Each structure stands twice: as C-alpha cells, then as structure tokens.
Amino acid sequence: MVEATVSPTPLLKDELDIVIPTIRNLDFLEMWRPFFQPYHLIIVQDGDPSKIIKVPEGFDYELYNRNDINRILGPRASCISFKDSACRCFGYMVSKKKYIYTIDDDCFVAKDPSGKDINALEQHIKNLLSPATPFFFNTLYDPYREGTDFVRGYPFSLREGVPTAVSHGLWLNIPDYDAPTQLVKPLERNNRYVDAVMSIPKGTLFPMCGMNLAFNRELIGPAMYFGLMGDGQPIGRYDDMWAGWCTKVICDHLGLGVKTGLPYIWHSKASNPFVNLKKEYKGIYWQEELIPFFQSVSIPKECTTVQKCYIELSKLVRAKLGKVDEYFIKLADAMVTWIEAWDELNSSGLKSKEVPNGPASAK
C-alpha cells in the first residue's frame, strides 16, 4: 500500500519574492517549477519594452519593462540601468516582501554529489534564517548547520551570532570569471562541490555575484543598488560587485552578517569574453582604487539605518572616487536618487502596477 504524501508548505512562501532580470522568454523556469512555483516572481524586462516576454503557465508573477519603470519612478528612473542586468534592482525596490532571491535566466538546477536536485532557494532561506558569525571565524564553518557546532576556543559571548542579511550562493559548470581569466582559461569548468557555508568576516570584502543571491530586504534592501551600468555608461559587469562592496561595509557597520557557499546552481553558458572585456576594462583598472576605498570607509556611528549609511557612502564616493573619474560623481548622485525612490515607494504603501505583458498575478 502506497502511503499518501503531503507536500510541506514551502518556507517563507508569503514572505519572499524571486526577482529575475531578462531579455528573453523564461523557458528556464520549467526546470525550476518544483521549487519556484509556490512563490511570487518579479520579472524585470531589459531592453526593448515592445518585445513580449513569455512566461510558462502556472507561475504567479509581475512583469515590468522600461516603460513601467519610467512611469513608476518618473525622473528618478534615471538611477535604473538600461541594457544591463543591473536593472534587477528595480524589482527589489517594488517588492513588498521581507526576503528577495534573485537568479539569472541562464542558471539551471544543479545536482549534489549524490545526484539529487539542489533546492537552491530552500538553502538560501536556511542561511538567512540562521545567525551569522562575522566577528570570529569558526573553523567548522557555519556552526548552526546540522552536524556541526562551535569549535573549542570559540568565545561563548559571540555564539549567539548576528542576523544574516545576505546569502551568497555559488555555481557549478561555468565559473564567474572576468574577461582576462575567461580568455586564458576558456575550457575551465567548476566541478567542485564544497559542502560548506561560512560567514564572511567583518572587515573583509568579497566579490558578490548577483546570479544566485538572496537577502533580507528589511535588513539591507536599500543598500542593494546595482549602480549605473550598461547603456550610456563607461562600465558594465560591475553592478553586483558595487552592490556587494556597499552592502558589506554597511553590514559591518550595522552588525549584520553575510554568508557565502551553498547553495550551488548550474551556470549553463559562458558569456563572450571579448564583449565582457569591452564592458569590464575600466572596472579592472578602477577596482584597484575602489577596493582600498571601501577598505578605508568609516561610517559615522550616527548612521543607524541603511539609508543613512548609504547616503553617507554616496558622499564619500563623490569626494574620493570622483577624483578617479567623473563617472563616480554621476554614480554618487544616482545613489542618492535610488534612496529617494526607495523611500518614496516603500513609505507610501504604493502597490505594484498593472503588468503590460500579462496579468499581475498570472496563474
């Protein structure tokens, strides 16, 4: 006799939005259906707003294109990048949920070493719902995972940990390399599955990749601005890096945690390294100035909210990085505009707008 199985209610079903930037039909969602279908999707369409983006049947979603962004934000729409996946941060802004998971449309379900499909979203949620330990490194990695704990010598006064604001996942198959590394290692693939989650220590920066990322929107959302990239800008492919550096220094200041490691997704295709080099080359030079800048950032103790921290950071960007290139003066202005738009949309009770390419809640 076969016992009836009852599907458990998905974690945070009504508290999490999945944000996807795209320029194409979202056929990749079929592979994710068992894991994503219970959740609400926010699709941010990049490029030509007249193009119809097809979403598989059965998903609950909102879809925004550039016309929607311009209508909703008005003049402040200038802070949202065009022709670049950085536009995804518009989805963070219009969401009304506590948590966000964002994924790229060339990322598929990976398998763990036993051959089982990895529920990436479930692992991200576990990471976010357990504390982080940024003030003292635990050599058995995340002490809150099943089967591990704090090692001998770990201070008891720090074992409560701090709230986790960001969960940064990784990728099997195509690694997230920059263009020069792609060019010298065109055939390299990441086949190593490391069963570990760790807190990134306070004072340590990291390269944040936006294609498999989750965060607590209430704790750190206003810092998740992916900058000015793409069309009309001198730089691309540094959108998630910029957001990661800003987010990390603010998390350090506010006593919040950032985790990296599990879960893995399967990154299906490598982007063109020559196109990438054209987008990245200024960033490759600039990051040698950017990293020391973020390492030296000191946010005043009077800054007790993410918004106040971010505005203070924008002032430092203007004053110090504006000397590197005038682009950073424009970026500093956009950082302020982003916060103004965030506060306006999230304080007025503004609800999501009607979707042009389909019903706001397509079932």
pLDDT average, residue stretch 221-225:
98
Rounded to an integer, the average pLDDT of 26-47 is: 98
Query: pLDDT class for 8, splitting at 50, 70, 90?
Result: low
Q: What is the per-residue pLDDT for 5?
A: 42
Is residue 148 left, alpha or beta, with left meaning phi > 0 and alpha meaning psi from -120 to 50?
A: beta
What would the pLDDT profile of 269-326 be if each residue is shown by its tens digit?
A: 989 999 999 999 999 999 999 999 999 999 999 999 999 999 999 999 999 999 999 9
Per-residue model confidence (pLDDT) at position 241: 98
* Torsion (CA) 297, 310, 17, 97 in degrees, nearest 10: 130
Are 194 and 264 within 8 A, CB to CB? no
pLDDT of residue 347: 85
Q: Average model confidence (pLDDT) for the chain?
A: 94
Alpha-carbon span 216 to 207, nearest angstrom = 19
Q: Give the pLDDT band (50/70/90) at residue 354.
A: very low
Least confident of 58-62, 127-131, 334-338, 346-350: 346-350
Pairing relationship of beta strands 164-173 and 212-216 according to DSSP bridges? antiparallel
**Mean pLDDT value of segment 36-62:** 97
With a cut of 80, say whether residue 348 has pLDDT above it: no
Q: Which residue has the tokens 């971010």?
A: 310
Q: How far apart are CA 59 and CA 37, in angstroms?
A: 6
- pLDDT digits 0-9 by tens, 142-164: 999 999 999 999 999 999 999 99
Asked whether the predicted pLDDT for residue 129 surpasses 70, the reply is: yes
Question: What tokens does 327 get?
Answer: 């682009």
At residue 111, the 3 state secondary structure works out as strand
Mean pLDDT calculated for residue range 236-260:
98
Res 9: pLDDT: 78
Does the pLDDT value for residue 360 go beyond 60? no
Instruction: Give the residue from 75, 94, 83 showing the smallest Cα distance to 233.
Output: 83
Position 357 pLDDT exceeds 60: no
Give Cα separations from 118 to 35, 108, 128, 143, 200 (angstroms). Answer: 9, 10, 17, 21, 23
Q: How many CB atoms lie within 10 A of CB 114?
A: 5
